[in-house]
């Protein structure tokens, strides 16, 4: 290994320190803690659903971005998307009742362990992404088979769903692709038919680098527009959207939101831990609420989104220039959407992602091989061994082309062997 080379990290899907709004957040903190009333609110237990100020700000943000109406009773505050997922599983799943977790694959690999922790080890199944969306026919057939095979009929628990479906529908982690509108409708329809709950990580939606394509509606918005099913007497519906300020303010604030039907949102906000401990992110939520109310988020996003678009462009251009000639393909979205934190590369025949990643490590370049994004414990699912995920969120702008150059060197060398 060349000791002189500075480490370049394409693994970490987190904002570069230079993209954190430290000064703006510091102002928000001072505002909150200099008022006795606001400080007391921030430091005591809060409403289990989260501070109403932040819920209102989230509703406004969603309304501006998606151009759909949202109400305060459709949003509750979480301690970030990972903890939001734990809450969904605590309240709405049970390994004795819920049969499978269907994960659109390649999947956000760190979600697997959260499902395993909830008792679903060995029951996660891949639903492959396709060039035009998701393999919905496979999902439908598989849910049918699992339901037919279920020998022991566990008593119906009104609080739980029979199946879970998990995906990052917009600017997916890792593939960067977005599920087209028609597939979104069909996915919601399938969930309704199979007593499934769709949990979507909608955390990259705002990090949109596309020009003039227009944002896609969330699955939760599509679900809401449909008439209630007669079987859904509790009006819970079949979707929940997981949102986060990790990408917009900073991961450390550990503040996000869940968005669902009013009935389901109420359930989620009344999780045992939230009733016992109050809002799962009380101080963080108070700071973020002030950050939004002061207009700092709008100002910050005006800097942030072009910065991500620029990073993406730098990386994609370098891929086209240096890797395409070697047969490495950038996986593109069917409708040309561009955004999120990642590019997903397909290696030419004969190359294995793990070998390439190991070669990159020798060149002080950290990347994740595609195999990391297979669904944990699903031996029959795709392996993604011919892929690589590269994050452009963390490394400095100047390092993006240099990192791709190192990767091209490794690919070229391996091809020459």
In the complex, what is the shortest distance from the CB of residue 191 to a copy of itself, in angstroms, rounded to a whole number? 22
Question: 277: closest CA among 46, 43, 37, 39?
Answer: 46
Measured from the CB atom, the residue of 85 and 410 that comes closer to a copy of itself is 85
In the complex, what is the shortest distance from the CB of residue 300 to a copy of itself, in angstroms, rounded to a whole number? 12
Determine if residue 11 is left, alpha or beta; phi over 0 gives left, psi from -120 to 50 gives alpha, anything else beta.
Answer: alpha
Strands (E), 235-370: 239-244, 256-259, 329-330, 342-346, 365-366, 368-369
In the complex, what is the shortest distance from the CB of residue 15 to a copy of itself, in angstroms, rounded to a whole number? 7
Lookup: tokens for 315: 């990386």
Interacting residue ranges for a copy of itself, rule: CB under 8 A: 14-15, 17, 20, 22, 25-26, 29-30, 33-34, 36, 39-46, 79-83, 85-86, 90-91, 94-96, 108, 110-119, 246, 249-254, 271-284, 286-287
Q: In angstroms, what CA-CA distances link 82 with 59, 201, 240, 245, 257?
A: 21, 9, 14, 12, 11
In the complex, what is the shortest distance from the CB of residue 344 to a copy of itself, in angstroms, rounded to a whole number? 19
Instruction: List 199's β-bridge partners, or say none.
Output: 166, 240
Report the b/e string of 241-265 with b at 16+ CB within 10 A: bbbbbbbbbbbebbbbbbbbbbbbb
In the complex, what is the shortest distance from the CB of residue 87 to a copy of itself, in angstroms, rounded to a whole number? 8
Element (H, E) at 125: strand 124-130
Measured from the CB atom, the residue of 81 and 199 that comes closer to a copy of itself is 81
In the complex, what is the shortest distance from the CB of residue 50 to a copy of itself, in angstroms, rounded to a whole number? 12
Measured from the CB atom, the residue of 13 and 217 that comes closer to a copy of itself is 13
Measured from the CB atom, the residue of 42 and 58 that comes closer to a copy of itself is 42
Lookup: tokens for 35: 């008022």
Instruction: List 53's β-bridge partners, or say none.
Output: none
Measured from the CB atom, the residue of 8 and 408 that comes closer to a copy of itself is 8
Measured from the CB atom, the residue of 84 and 381 that comes closer to a copy of itself is 84
In the complex, what is the shortest distance from the CB of residue 85 to a copy of itself, in angstroms, rounded to a whole number? 7
Q: In angstroms, what CA-CA distances link 270 with 110, 200, 280?
A: 26, 20, 11
> How far is residue 217 CA from its own chain's centroid?
15
Measured from the CB atom, the residue of 94 and 335 that comes closer to a copy of itself is 94
């Amino acid at each position: 290994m060349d000791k002189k080379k500075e480490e370049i990290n394409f693994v970490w899907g987190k904002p570069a320190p230079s993209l954190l709004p430290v000064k703006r957040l510091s102002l928000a903190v001072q505002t909150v803690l200099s008022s006795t009333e606001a400080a007391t609110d921030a430091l005591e237990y809060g409403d289990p659903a989260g501070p109403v100020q932040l819920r209102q700000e989230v509703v406004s943000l969603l309304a501006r971005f998606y151009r759909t109406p949202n109400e305060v009773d459709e949003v509750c505050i979480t301690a970030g998307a990972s903890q939001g997922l734990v809450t969904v599983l605590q309240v709405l799943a049970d390994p004795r009742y819920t049969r499978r977790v269907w994960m659109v694959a390649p999947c956000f690999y760190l979600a697997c362990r959260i499902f395993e922790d909830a008792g679903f080890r060995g029951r996660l199944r891949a639903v492959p992404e396709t060039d035009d969306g998701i393999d919905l026919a496979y999902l439908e057939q598989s849910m049918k088979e699992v339901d037919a095979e279920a020998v022991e009929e566990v008593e119906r628990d009104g609080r739980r769903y029979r199946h879970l479906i998990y995906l990052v529908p917009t600017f997916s982690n890792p593939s960067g692709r977005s599920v087209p509108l028609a597939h979104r409708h069909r996915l919601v329809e399938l969930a309704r038919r199979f007593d499934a709950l769709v949990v979507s990580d909608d955390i990259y939606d705002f990090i949109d680098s596309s020009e003039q394509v227009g944002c896609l509606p969330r699955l939760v918005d599509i679900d809401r527009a449909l008439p209630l099913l007669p079987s859904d007497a509790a009006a819970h519906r079949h979707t929940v959207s997981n949102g986060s300020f990790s990408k917009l303010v900073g991961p450390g604030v550990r503040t996000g939101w869940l968005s669902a039907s009013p009935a389901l949102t109420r359930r989620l906000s009344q999780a045992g831990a939230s009733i016992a401990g109050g809002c799962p992110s009380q101080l963080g939520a108070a700071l973020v609420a002030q950050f939004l109310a002061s207009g700092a988020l709008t100002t910050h996003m005006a800097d942030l989104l072009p910065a991500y678009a620029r990073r993406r462009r730098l990386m994609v251009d370098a891929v086209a220039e240096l890797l395409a000639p070697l047969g490495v393909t950038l996986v593109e979205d069917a409708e040309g959407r561009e955004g999120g934190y990642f590019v997903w590369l397909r290696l030419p025949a004969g190359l294995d992602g793990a070998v390439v990643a190991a070669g990159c490590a020798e060149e002080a370049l950290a990347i994740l091989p595609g195999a990391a994004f297979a669904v944990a414990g699903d031996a029959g699912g795709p392996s993604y061994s011919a892929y690589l995920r590269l994050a452009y969120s963390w490394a400095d702008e100047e390092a993006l082309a240099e990192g791709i150059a190192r990767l091209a060197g490794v690919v070229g060398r391996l091809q020459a062997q």
